[in-house]
Structure 1
Amino acid sequence: MIPVPDLVVLLALGLCLFAVVGSLIPLVPGAALSVGGVLLYWWNSGYADPGPFVLVGLVGLALLALVLDWFGGAVSASAGGASTRTTLAAAVVALPLTLVAGPVGLLLGVAGTVFALTYYENEDVEESARIAAYTTVGMLASSVAQALLTAFVFLGMLLVVIY
């Protein structure tokens, strides 16, 4: 029979589970919630469980997801050919649209801004569309990667708690 975990353990697991969902929702710091859940559990165990290698692995996965969250869109925009100015403008335009229209506002705000500013710079519809599409696909791929990484952290924490 598996013992019933205490409230802090449930909270730590809840943070890790919400991190998976949060990694797919704009403006929710999913990866940071994973780090918080792992460290809360570690603190609650008296810094004994998980062991140092598992702790570093779980926190490392969560930090990698955090880096993807912060820089994934900018890296994909840059790799697609968008200028730094265009990337920054897309971030500024997408933020209020995300607050109003959620994930759709984020994607449309970024794609539309990248397309419009790239077209303004080069007057090439096909090239501007390609860069906007590359940026949008990169952002979506970054979100999927974040969800997978935070899911691995959650599953790792489940194993730590059960065993």
Structure 2
Amino acid sequence: MIDAVALVALALLIAGVIASVVPGVPAGLLSLAGVYVEFLFGSGDMTYWLLFSFTVVGVLAVVVDLFGGAVAARGRGASGTTTLIAAVTGLVLFFVAGPIGVVVGMFLAVFLLELRREDRSFDEAWDNGVWATAGMLASGLAVFLLVTSMLVGYVVFVLWLGSGTTF
């Protein structure tokens, strides 16, 4: 039987997985909230080692979510200003055109802003736009996998194995 605290924790972990595919929603923080609800208010089946493991994965998800696309763009040579404007453009276009707006907006913002730079050719601007967009999509996939692993870990180590675990 699952108690109310476990249901809240499970709901937050599931919300984290769903949020991982929605730009601008902090999937890692939702998942961490679920873990800490269980640890603080649950039946005591979560050990400190398990809490530490969940925390490391959750913090990694937050960092990847916040900086994954920017790191890819910067690694390819896009300016910090371009990266920031592209992120804001993608977020705004999410509310106008949904997830497709984010992808197209990110690409176009990086491409057009990089094309305006005097030291960039068309091909370099195009490559930066592609890399920034690919980095954003890859970081989204990484966040999805990280928060999904937290959900699976919670179900296996806390709900299924319960206090019988030695982790």
Bin of the TM-score, shorter chain as denominator length: over 0.9
1:63 aligns with 2:55: no
Taking structure 2 as the reference length, the TM-score comes to 0.90
Q: What is the match of residue 145 of structure 2?
A: 148
Q: What is the match of residue 45 of structure 1?
A: 42
Taking structure 1 as the reference length, the TM-score comes to 0.92
Unaligned runs of 5+ in 1: none
Distance 2:39 2:65 in 1: 24
Q: How many residues align?
A: 159
Distance 2:91 2:76 in 1: 21
Q: Once the two structures are superposed, what CA deviation does each residue of 1:67-106 show, in whole Å capped at 9, x if it has no partner?
A: 0111111111101210111111212222211111121111
8 Å Cα contact 1:119/1:128 also seen in 2: yes
Q: What is the match of residue 115 of structure 1?
A: 111
Unaligned runs of 5+ in 2: 162-167
Distance 2:90 2:21 in 1: 16
Q: Which of 79, 82, 90 is equivalent to 1:83? A: 79
Distance 2:87 2:143 in 1: 19
Q: What is the match of residue 93 of structure 2?
A: 97
How high is the sequence identity, in percent, across the aligned residues?
37
Distance 1:88 1:135 in 2: 11
Q: Once the two structures are superposed, what CA deviation does each residue of 1:46-79 show, in whole Å capped at 9, x if it has no partner?
A: 6x33101110001110110000111111111101
Q: Which of 154, 157, 160 is equivalent to 1:157? A: 154
